[in-house]
């Protein structure tokens, strides 16, 4: 049966409504969008000579918003500006162009005053073609910045200023001032950080122009597993690197002594000792060297102990350290200082270690007035029940540390039996001794009894590797004049190999 004309149009209209509703439902599906925050900027443009307002000056921004002109009172206002750094360029006929930089914060109004000077000569063109390219990533922490002059010759005698800004910081760093160079090196930058930089060019007549604000991001922090101290030009600092010495990072730069670095067991911060306060205290810092903070006020020193007598707890929450004849525990934030033990009469605590295995134990070295007068004790983790582990033997005894399973202790001893008040050793070896006293192995001599150690050197400052099958240690000529070296070897003394020159007190995690 044929439909009447009105019924036909009603059905068509209904179909159209259904289609529209389906389209709206599709369009209403939620899309996740990163939030954008806004602020505003107000400004005044003044004449440099008269300090009077300049009307009808052109105002543009980078990143772009809109173009504006100043009012009769030299005012302008820019609303709904995304937060972050904003470059405001102001131009006016017969005046030199000026670029002002402001930081816009959420819900805040930034105010800026721009002063324009009359043009006495044609302004140079802003440089271009930056290196690294704008928004480049993966840049080194010592990066060379370059730019290219535009429409210029050597006879133009252009001069350059370069400023650098770190993201989330309002302070600027002047890299170059009134220089003919078109390149400059920005040093000591942070890892995984965005930096902004800008070049100002100036001709002999004083006319100038600024580039846009360029940016780059530095590379991620390397996952260096090795830490050590190194003395260069009489200054001792802390370094990290990979096992080949690559990705080398100098973590401290003070003129004081920073030494004995130890990465926490959970690998988030580095503990170290410094005499910046006049006495050796313990500090922590991030793995890139930032956020250095003192955590002790009671000195970490004693007889022949210049800040080396400390160790992390196995969980990384606390540290133990020696203060003369007392052994303390302290939280990693500097709170909760607790006395654990007092050394035998006439002796001081020195180096130590802490294991959580087999119920947990401490091993602590004690020394008399002379460093060669040394003994090793085992304690409960609360500082109770001291047990003499290695008695005083001829020759210097140092650097006790637990094996991975906590069943043995590695230490160094001068097998030559040379009792020198200066601490000099003639033939230092590394030994691994079970805590139950059942076996002692001369690791340096190896299973064959024939040491691969060069004659006239000492193997000292040993620690077990994270896998439990190797040792990292220091080898040094026994005249103590040549620079120490960091080596590794297997627990049977084989496969000796040098890792780093001019390095000592190594840590491997």
What digits encode the pLDDT tens for the residues 221-276?
A: 999 999 999 999 999 999 999 999 999 999 999 999 999 999 999 999 999 999 99
97 is a domain residue: yes
Is 499 within the bounds of a domain? yes
Which residues of the chain, if any, have pLDDT below 50?
Answer: 1-10, 12-29
In a domain, 8, yes or no: no
Q: What is the pLDDT of residues 100-159, one digit of tens each?
A: 999 999 999 999 999 998 766 678 899 999 999 999 999 999 999 999 999 877 767 899
- Cα angle, residue 130 at apex, residues 128 and 134 outer, rounded to 5°: 110
Domain boundary among 169, 193, 218: 218
Residue 68 sits in the same domain as residue 160: no
Query: Which residues make Cβ contacts (< 8 Å) with residue 141, sequence separation at least 6?
Result: 187, 188, 189, 190, 191, 218, 219
Give the pLDDT confidence score for residue 118 in this predicted structure. Answer: 74
Question: Based on the domain organization, do 160 and 213 belong to the same domain?
Answer: yes
Instruction: Say whether pTM exceeds 0.85.
Output: no
The answer to whether residue 86 sits within a structural domain is yes
Domain range enclosing 136:
125-218
Cis peptide bond upstream of 132, omega within 30: yes
pLDDT of residue 121: 62
Residue 388 in tokens: 């003499």
Residues 374 and 479 in one domain: yes
> What is the domain-level CATH number for residue 187?
2.60.40.10
Count structural domains, the chain: 3
CATH of the domain at 92: 2.60.40.1120
| 12 assigned to some structural domain | no
Q: Going by C-beta distance under 8 Å and a sequence separation of 6 or more, which residues neighbour residue 220? A: 191, 192
Pairing of β 38-47 and β 109-116? parallel
209 and 272 inside one domain: no
Would you say residue 415 lies in a domain?
yes
Residue whose C-alpha is closest to residue 383's, from 313, 333, 320, 337: 320
CATH of the domain at 232: 2.120.10.30
Both 343 and 277 in one domain: the answer is yes
> What phi, psi does 26 have (nearest 5°)?
-65, -40
* Predicted local distance difference test score (pLDDT) of residue 117: 84
Given 218, 248, 278, which residue is the final one in a domain?
218
Q: Is there a domain that residue 11 lies in?
A: no
Query: Among 184, 218, 252, which residue terminates a domain?
Result: 218
For residue 33, the model assigns a pLDDT of: 57
Would you state the pLDDT for residue 2?
Answer: 37
How many residues does the structure list for the chain?
A: 509
Write down the pLDDT at residue 49. 78
Look at residue 95 in the predicted model and tell me its pLDDT. 83
Q: What does the pLDDT read at residue 171?
A: 84
Residues 326-360 have pLDDT tens digits of: 999 999 999 999 999 999 999 999 999 999 998 89
* 110 and 211 together in one domain: no
Longest dimension (CA), the chain: 122
CB-based contact 210:199 (threshold 8 Å): yes
- Contact between residue 376 and residue 400 where contact means Cβ atoms under 8 Å apart: yes
Compute the chain's Rg from CA coordinates: 34
């Amino acid at each position: 049966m044929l439909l009447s004309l009105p019924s036909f149009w009603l059905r068509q209209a209904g179909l159209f409504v259904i289609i529209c509703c389906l389209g709206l439902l599709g369009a209403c599906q939620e899309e996740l969008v990163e939030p954008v925050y806004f602020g505003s900027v107000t400004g005044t443009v003044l004449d440099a000579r008269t300090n009077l307002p300049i009307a009808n000056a052109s105002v543009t921004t980078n990143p772009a918003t809109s173009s504006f002109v100043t009012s009769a009172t030299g005012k302008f206002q820019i609303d709904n500006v995304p937060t972050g750094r904003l470059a405001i360029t102001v131009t006016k006929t017969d005046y030199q162009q000026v670029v002002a930089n402001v930081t816009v914060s959420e819900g805040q109004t930034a105010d800026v005053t721009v002063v324009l000077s009359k043009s006495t000569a044609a302004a140079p063109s802003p440089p271009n073609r930056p290196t690294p390219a704008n928004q480049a990533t993966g840049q080194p922490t010592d990066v060379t910045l370059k730019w290219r002059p535009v429409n210029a010759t050597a006879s133009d005698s252009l001069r350059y200023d370069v400023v650098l800004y770190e993201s989330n910081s309002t302070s600027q760093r002047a890299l170059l001032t009134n220089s003919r160079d078109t390149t400059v090196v920005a040093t000591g930058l942070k890892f995984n950080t965005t930096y902004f930089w800008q070049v100002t060019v100036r001709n002999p007549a004083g006319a100038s122009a600024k580039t846009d604000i360029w940016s780059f991001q530095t590379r991620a922090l390397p996952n260096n597993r090795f830490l050590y101290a190194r003395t260069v030009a009489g200054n001792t600092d802390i370094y990290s690197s990979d096992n080949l010495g690559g990705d080398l990072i100098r973590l401290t730069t003070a003129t004081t002594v920073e030494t004995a670095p130890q990465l926490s067991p959970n690998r988030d911060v580095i503990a170290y000792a410094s005499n910046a306060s006049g006495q050796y205290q313990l500090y922590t810092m991030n793995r890139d060297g930032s956020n250095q903070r003192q955590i002790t006020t009671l000195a970490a020193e004693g007889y022949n102990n210049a800040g080396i007598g400390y160790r992390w707890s196995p969980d990384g929450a606390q540290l133990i350290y020696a203060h003369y004849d007392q052994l303390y525990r302290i939280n990693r934030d500097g709170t909760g200082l607790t006395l654990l033990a007092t050394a035998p009469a006439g002796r001081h605590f020195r180096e130590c270690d802490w294991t959580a295995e087999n119920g947990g134990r401490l091993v602590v070295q004690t020394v008399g007035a002379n460093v060669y007068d040394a003994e090793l004790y085992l304690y409960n983790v609360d500082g109770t029940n001291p047990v003499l582990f290695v008695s005083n033997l001829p020759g210097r005894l140092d650097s006790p540390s637990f094996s991975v399973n906590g069943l043995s202790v590695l230490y160094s001893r001068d097998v030559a039996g040379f009792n020198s008040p200066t601490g000099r050793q003639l033939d230092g070896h590394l030994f691994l001794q079970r805590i139950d006293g059942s076996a002692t192995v001369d690791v340096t001599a190896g299973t064959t009894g024939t040491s691969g150690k060069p004659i006239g050197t000492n193997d000292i400052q040993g620690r077990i590797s994270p896998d439990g099958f190797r040792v990292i240690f220091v080898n040094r000529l026994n005249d103590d004049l040549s620079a120490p070296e960091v080596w590794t070897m297997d627990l049977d003394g084989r496969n000796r190999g040098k890792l780093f020159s001019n390095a000592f007190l190594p840590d491997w995690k």
